[in-house]
Amino acid sequence: MLTVVPAYGRDYKSAKAALVDWNDNKDFIVATISSPYDGKYCNKQDLPNEQVKIRYHKLTKCVITKD
């Protein structure tokens, strides 16, 4: 499972807001050190069948997508 963080300085106060942007194909950055894609931009369209963990609220909380 990949961990992603919001791109372009975005942050979210709720899991619902983070999931809305994920489902709207907004950009996120892969933040999984063991992944060869660490630091690369991605969105739901790039990872259509993969569950991801989205970090939000200044990276202190997370939500897992249901895909």
pLDDT one-digit tens code per residue, 8-47: 999 999 999 999 999 999 999 999 999 999 999 999 999 9
* pLDDT at residue 48 tops 90: no
Check residue 14 and give its pLDDT.
Answer: 97
Question: Domain total for the chain?
Answer: 1
Domain that residue 34 falls in: 2-64
Please, which pLDDT band fits residue 67 given cuts at 50, 70 and 90?
low
Residue 16: strand, helix, or coil: helix
Distance CA 15, CA 21 (A): 10
Computed from CA positions of residues 26, 27, 33, 37, in that sequence, does the dihedral angle turn out positive or negative?
Answer: positive
The answer to whether 38 and 32 are in contact (CB under 8 A) is yes
Closest CA to 66 of 45, 50, 42: 50
Predicted confidence at residue 66, as pLDDT, reads: 84
Largest CA distance in the chain: 29
